Structure 1
Amino acid sequence: MVKLVMCVCRRSELSLEEFHDYWLNHHGPLLQKFASSYKVYRYVQSHTIDTALNKAVCDSRGMLSSEYDGVAELWWKSEAEFLEAINSEEGQKLRTIFLDAEAKFLDFSKSTAFFTKEHIIVE
């Protein structure tokens, strides 16, 4: 398995509630609709909640307080399968669709993405 992790920030004109609603109820179903064509095995959205615990956990470790509004996780069975999906003719069309859709609610300049391999320690 290979996983793409995206730590995302909303566009400045969106409230946190508007951002989460759009991401969950508009973008989520869009990706779900094309998941099999894009060979996405699993997709999870984690929405940041407004709690004093965020600052407390960062302060207790000397960490910077995160300004991320959420985390998206997308799994593929392998890097080869991911590359096959995005390099196909349909994958290229879907990539454009997803990027255009994401531009409506994400601030790319404040967000980041990276691939990971999971090591499950506690199940």
Structure 2
Amino acid sequence: MIKITYSIFARKDLAPDIVRSRWMDEHGDMVRRFSEKLRLARYVQTLRTPHRLEGVMAASRNQPAQYPFGMAELYWRSREDLEWSFTDADARECYRQLLEDEKRFAERTEWMPWIGAEHVVIDGEVTHE
């Protein structure tokens, strides 16, 4: 599998519940509707759930505590499917609509998608005593 990962930074002029609804419900439904045209194999939204340990982890890395609202991951079965989705006219129109919709909940200047392949080290099979 190959994937694109996005860090989602909420628009500062919107309440968190509006951002969550627009991103996770409405935008998620758009991705679902377009999934066949985009040849998506999987789409995952991860909503940040604030915890006091975030500050501890940031401080241990000498980093400022700047957190995204969440993360989105789009998966394709192959690099060829991903590349096809950026050349097919129908798929490109889907991307255009998704990009336009993102403006309803996300700050456009604060994220950059990136492409990667997962290397799974632990997959839920480890038991802790």
Question: Which blocks of at least 5 consecutive residues in structure 2 are unaligned?
Answer: 124-129
Provide the rounded CA distance (Å) in 2 between the counterparts of 1:56 and 1:14.
Answer: 28
Provide the rounded CA distance (Å) in 1 between the counterparts of 2:49 and 2:119.
Answer: 26
Q: Deviation per CA, 1:25-84, whole angstroms, max 9, x where unpaired?
A: 100011011111111110000111232222122223333323311100010112221111
**Residue matched to 1:110:** 110
Provide the rounded CA distance (Å) in 1 between the counterparts of 2:64 and 2:113.
Answer: 18
**Residue matched to 2:47:** 47
**In the TM superposition, what is the alpha-carbon distance from 1:100 to its structure 2 partner?**
0.8
Determine which structure has the larger helix proportion and give its number: 1
Q: Which runs of 4+ in 1 moved over 6 A?
A: none
SS of the equivalent of 1:82 reads helix
Cα RMSD of the aligned pairs, angstroms, is 1.3
Greater Rg over alpha carbons, structure: 2
Provide the TM-score with structure 1 as the length reference: 0.92
Which has the higher mean CA deviation after the structures are superposed, 72-81 or 15-24?
15-24
**In the TM superposition, what is the alpha-carbon distance from 1:118 to its structure 2 partner?**
0.5
Question: Which blocks of at least 5 consecutive residues in structure 1 are unaligned?
Answer: none
Matched positions, count: 123
Provide the rounded CA distance (Å) in 2 between the counterparts of 1:117 and 1:58.
Answer: 25
Confirm or deny: 8 A CA contact 2:11 2:107 kept in the other structure.
Answer: yes
% of aligned pairs identical? 21
Provide the TM-score with structure 2 as the length reference: 0.88
Residue identity in the other structure for 1:86: F
Residue identity in the other structure for 1:57: M
Which has the higher mean CA deviation after the structures are superposed, 7-16 or 57-66?
57-66
